[in-house]
């Protein structure tokens, strides 16, 4: 075609060739409606349309039919509407074989992102970014459709493809919005349920299909397309939020049930076999189960979209979409809502530390190291085979900051447990000499990640001060759960990995060896109040060949169960909030399998049912007794009675309330030998009542109950009073101070 054919309707030939070749950075500049004045001075609108392989095109506007001229044989047409203003027009497109379709022209619409949005993204400060990037169902310039926007600054061109255009990357090229790196297009008549991806042309000329980093829904793996989604869910958890907003989590009972939704309980799949519950199926059984056992919160292993079940959710490919394995985003909202209505708070594991290398997800997203560092010494986790976010890049940091708020605001979750914080803090994490680079001061601390962590905790708590931010941090990094203005990282809580390790080491020892490991149990009190600790017996401790909690316990079958009951009762009384992974509450025999289920049939056996009964009792008494949680994070709430009786493997301590309630003594005999006439120091004279005994027959024990004891004026353990009684074998008991009522003060 000769050049004049390009130019007779204001068409630049070079632009046309770039459009047809799929290399135009701003197709809207060429296509769509363009008002102008003709050579005669009259106003008119030049309309250009692009439909690959079309053989004819007509403008339909205000009852007029205006034939368009083909200005490029690949399918570019141009026509003129005389008169001022741009009417609401449509394009009638004819294809070979006489196929005719009428469509709204996506290139007649203005951008759906404003300059402020792009500025804030560039600054890394767009707190509601998920409302602007990704696939947004909206009414734009009076038309219903979906806008698509993606950040890909290194791309030569970006096209949106999906079932709405036959996955043909030629049809809908997107425009670059200035120098922001954002590509955008509004597609009228595309709505919820549409499957899509971005076809990205790299600077090197390669094409790759990418899932949307901001997709709100995705296909069930192994399929990888993103899905246009718009929530229609109506929440019914107003009462829960009213209570949450007035709850001080540092001075309230918190006991957490950690749950992997895919393997909590299985049901029969269509066509045979077994599958995990859907969100809605879980909503019918999980809230009531947790309420019956008395847990205050459930913590889900990552529910964000992940293609590989064996990663347990920790290799996320869709940070803004709940995994489709269990249902739709609104189905997940329903589960959270039902948990709230049952009085159960919801935490989800959040993974801002790394992401997988899948070539359809974030890795080298636009052909460059975009979300990750280009230097593998900074950008790759060798142990996990994943990539590390580039926290120094404003847009990457914004992606993650907005994601934290997204889960809290869109799904009403009550907290985030941040995974693998230690791997973010240290540049040399799990690296040998020569495999890492120092920070600008020559140190090993990842200064950019630290700034990101502080910014994220400040942001979340500024908007939602009543939620929980929990760090899984396994080192001695100081002040993890202290405010940033005091030099901390700003989390509300931290997992106490040292407590977990020491306790499991101790309880795995045969009682004959325990005197030599006695202070494994006391060591945690040297630092117990330096952080707001959660005591985790988590999924990590019952997987990868480590065996179940029960299997770690020494001795014969009876002693194994007695030891497990001791461990749980010791944990619930210890300073810190208890967290127990599913299966631990029934004394599961085997370690956790992500593709299996909790072995619920074990509840047919009394010893397993006894462990569950104990957990129920622990939560019931724990929630009732302020001494066990009201001063969990401060020394006034705790006092050793006897930490040093290693010969007998007996430990005892006191817990005190803050404003009311009664003092509680916890006494642990961690050998199978009863301790007769064992004297324990107590702070108050009079009656102390047994409120829980792990050796109770109700829980599968030998039923060596204490009942009640009287503290007499015999000084012991540096306390003014004491009582002597029999300690049950392999038993932990709680005694509560209950002074007798003064008859003279009783009402007549």
Dist CA 571 CA 566 (whole Å): 8
Residue 575: C-alpha distances to residues 293, 325, 499, 629, 689 (Å): 21, 38, 11, 8, 21
Omega before 222 within 30 of 0, i.e. cis: yes
Q: Which of 472, 520, 607, 630 is catalytic?
A: 472
Question: In this structure, are residues 577 and 537 in contact, taking their beta carbons and an 8 Å threshold?
Answer: no
Question: In this structure, are residues 331 and 279 in contact, taking their beta carbons and an 8 Å threshold?
Answer: yes
At 454, which helix (H) or strand (E)?
helix 447-463
CA angle, 428 as apex, 426 and 434 as ends, to 5°?
A: 155
Residue 438: C-alpha distances to residues 373, 434, 441 (Å): 14, 10, 7
Long-range pairs for 232-239 at CB < 8 Å and ≥24 separation? 232/330, 233/330, 233/333, 233/334, 233/337, 235/333, 235/337, 235/412, 236/337, 236/341, 237/336, 237/337, 237/340, 237/341, 237/412, 239/341
Dist CA 498 CA 528 (whole Å): 10
In the residue annotation, 330 being an active-site residue is answered as: no
Dist CA 637 CA 620 (whole Å): 20
Please give the structure tokens belonging to residue 401. 């900051």
Tell which residue, 272, 274, 276, 281, has the closest CA to residue 264. 276
Beta bridge partners of 218: 226
Question: In this structure, are residues 658 and 557 in contact, taking their beta carbons and an 8 Å threshold?
Answer: no
Strands (E) in 618-713, as ranges, are: 638-645, 650-655, 664-669, 675-682, 686-693, 708-711
Beta bridge partners of 66: 59
Q: Which of 419, 541, 585, 632 is catalytic?
A: 419
In the residue annotation, 510 being an active-site residue is answered as: no
243 contacts: CB under 8 Å, gap ≥ 6: none
Dist CA 700 CA 717 (whole Å): 32
| DSSP codes, 696-710 | -GGGTS------EEE
* Cα separation of the two ends of the chain: 110
Active site residues: 419, 472
């Amino acid at each position: 075609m000769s050049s004049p054919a390009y130019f007779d309707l204001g068409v630049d030939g070079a632009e046309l060739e770039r459009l047809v070749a799929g290399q135009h950075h701003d197709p809207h500049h060429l296509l769509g409606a363009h008002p102008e004045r003709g050579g005669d001075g009259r106003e008119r609108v030049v309309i250009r349309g692009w439909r690959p392989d079309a053989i004819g095109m007509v403008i339909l506007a205000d009852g007029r039919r205006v034939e368009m001229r083909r200005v490029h044989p690949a399918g570019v047409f141009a026509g003129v509407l005389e008169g001022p203003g741009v009417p609401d027009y449509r394009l009638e497109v004819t294809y070979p074989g006489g196929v005719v379709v009428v469509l709204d022209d996506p290139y007649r619409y203005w951008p759906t992102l404003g300059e402020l949005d792009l500025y804030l993204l560039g600054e890394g400060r767009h707190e509601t970014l998920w409302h602007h990037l990704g696939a947004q169902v909206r009414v734009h310039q009076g038309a219903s459709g979906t806008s698509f926007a993606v950040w890909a600054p290194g791309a030569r061109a970006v096209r949106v493809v999906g079932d709405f255009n036959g996955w043909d990357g030629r049809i809908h090229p997107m425009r670059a919005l200035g120098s922001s790196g954002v590509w955008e297009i509004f597609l009228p008549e595309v709505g919820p349920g549409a499957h899509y991806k971005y076809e990205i042309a790299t600077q090197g000329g390669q094409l790759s299909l990418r899932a949307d980093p901001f997709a709100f829904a995705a296909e069930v793996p192994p399929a990888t397309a993103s899905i246009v989604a718009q929530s229609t869910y109506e929440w019914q958890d107003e009462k829960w939020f009213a209570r949450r907003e007035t709850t001080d989590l540092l001075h309230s009972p918190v006991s957490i049930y950690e749950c992997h939704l895919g393997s909590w309980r299985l049901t029969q799949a269509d066509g045979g076999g077994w599958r995990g519950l859907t969100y809605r199926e879980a909503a019918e059984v999980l809230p009531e189960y947790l309420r019956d056992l008395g847990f205050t919160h459930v913590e889900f292993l990552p529910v964000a979209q992940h293609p590989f079940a064996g990663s347990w959710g920790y290799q996320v490919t869709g940070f803004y979409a709940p995994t489709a394995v269990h249902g739709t985003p609104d189905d997940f909202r329903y589960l959270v809502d039902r948990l709230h209505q049952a009085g159960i708070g919801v935490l989800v594991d959040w993974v801002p530390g790394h992401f997988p290398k899948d070539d359809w997800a974030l890795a080298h997203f636009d052909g460059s190291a975009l979300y990750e560092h280009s230097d593998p010494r900074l950008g790759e986790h060798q142990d996990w085979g994943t990539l590390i976010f580039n926290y120094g890049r404003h847009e990457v940091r914004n992606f993650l900051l907005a994601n934290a708020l997204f889960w809290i605001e869109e799904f009403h979750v009550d907290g985030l447990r941040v995974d693998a914080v230690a791997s973010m803090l240290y540049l040399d994490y799990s690296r040998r000499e020569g495999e890492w680079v120092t920070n600008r001061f020559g140190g090993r601390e990842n200064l950019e990640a630290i700034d990101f962590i502080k910014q994220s905790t400040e942001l979340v708590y500024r908007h939602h001060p009543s939620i929980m931010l929990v760090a899984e941090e396994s080192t001695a990094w100081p002040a993890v759960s202290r405010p940033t203005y005091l030099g901390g990282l700003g989390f509300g809580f931290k997992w106490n990995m040292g407590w977990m390790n020491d306790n499991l080491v101790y309880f795995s020892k045969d009682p004959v060896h325990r005197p030599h490991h006695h202070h494994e149990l006391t060591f945690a009190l040297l630092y117990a109040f330096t952080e707001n600790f959660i005591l985790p017996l988590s999924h990590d401790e019952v997987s990868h060949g480590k065996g179940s909690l029960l299997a770690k316990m020494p001795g014969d079958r009876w002693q194994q169960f007695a030891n497990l009951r001791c461990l749980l009762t010791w944990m619930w009384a210890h300073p810190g909030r208890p967290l127990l992974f599913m299966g631990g509450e029934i004394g599961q025999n085997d370690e956790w399998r992500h593709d299996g289920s909790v072995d619920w049939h074990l509840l047919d056996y009394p010893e397993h049912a006894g462990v569950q009964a104990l957990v129920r009792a622990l939560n019931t008494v724990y929630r009732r007794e302020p001494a066990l949680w009201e001063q969990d994070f401060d020394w006034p709430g705790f006092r050793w009675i006897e930490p040093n009786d290693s010969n007998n493997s007996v430990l005892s301590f006191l817990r005190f309330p803050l404003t009311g309630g009664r003092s509680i003594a916890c006494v642990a005999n961690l050998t199978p030998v009863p301790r007769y006439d064992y004297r324990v120091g107590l702070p108050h004279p009079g009656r102390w009542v047994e409120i829980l005994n792990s050796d109770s027959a109700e829980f599968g024990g030998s039923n060596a109950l204490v009942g009640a004891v009287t503290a007499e004026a015999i000084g012991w353990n540096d306390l003014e009073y004491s009582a002597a009684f029999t300690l049950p074998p392999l038993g932990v008991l709680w005694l509560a101070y209950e002074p007798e009522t003064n008859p003279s003060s009783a009402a007549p």
